[in-house]
A = this chain, B = another copy of it.
Amino acid sequence: MASRVSLDRSLPNQRIPKAVVRRLSLYARALQRLEGGASEKVSSEDLANMLGYKAAQVRKDLAYFGQFGTPGFGYQVASLRAEIKRILGADREFLVAVVGVGNLGSALLSYGGFLKQGYRIVCGFDIDPEQTHAREGAVRVHHVRDLEKKIKELRIDIVILAVPPDAVQAIADRCVAASILGILNFVPTRITVPKNVHLHQVDLALEMESLGFYIRLQSE
């Protein structure tokens, strides 16, 4: 059984901690910065310093997925980055829809931040698509009544929720019923979904509150 791990690096048979996956994305970004730079190799020490981690952690994180380095040498910048991209799923494009095209939703629709490779925003949904329609040249805004139908038809993988707080759980339930794979929830209301659906809550109110708390703590 142990041999299987080294044969097929892309299928880790242990559970991967969320924190490890987050760091993996940051490694990829750091490597991108290094690419085209002076050196084609990088050590776990270098990478750790760039991100404020410890070298051992970098090596341990990578070890979840395989052996990518050469003892006494380090890692090839380009190939390590390619490996990490592959691990993170660069081999597949995810189709994304934004539900709720108000202020935040329309900014997210046009925000390039996560459009980078691998994620394509396919459409929006709103209770009043006419009103939002004109603003978004590129992407069609459908009526939210057609949510399930369009999710299936357009094979949408991920929805971004930016609807009013009291609507969010019901919308999430409908998405789940339509077999959505992942939800990124921007609404400051916690929602629950079955554990086969991956959920990230981006809670700005929460971030602000902890920021405020730590500021207060510090000033005393």
Contacts and interface: CB of A to CB of B under 8 A. Distances in A.
Contacts of A217: 12, 16
Nearest to A18: B210
A158 B87 CA distance: 36
A204 B16 CA distance: 20
Contact of A111 (B104, B212, B213, B220): B104
A110 B214 CA distance: 25
Interface string A172-200: 00000000011010101010100010101
A113 interface: yes
A113 B212 contact: no
Nearest to A91: B216
A215 interface: yes
A74 interface: no
Interface stretch (A21-29, A34-42, A122-130, A147-155): A21-29
B218 A181 contact: yes
B212 A118 contact: yes
B92 A210 contact: no
A103 interface: yes
A65 to B, nearest CB: 11
Classify chain A's interface size.
Answer: 35 or more
Given A103-B110, A107-B104, A190-B51, A208 B181 contact: no
Contact of A204 (B26, B202, B213): B202
Contacts of A205: 25, 113-114, 116
A194 to B, nearest CB: 12
Interface of A: 11-12, 16, 18, 21-22, 24-26, 29, 51-52, 87-89, 92, 94, 96, 103-104, 106-108, 110-111, 113-114, 116, 118-119, 157-158, 181-182, 184, 186, 188, 190, 192, 196, 198, 200, 202, 204-220
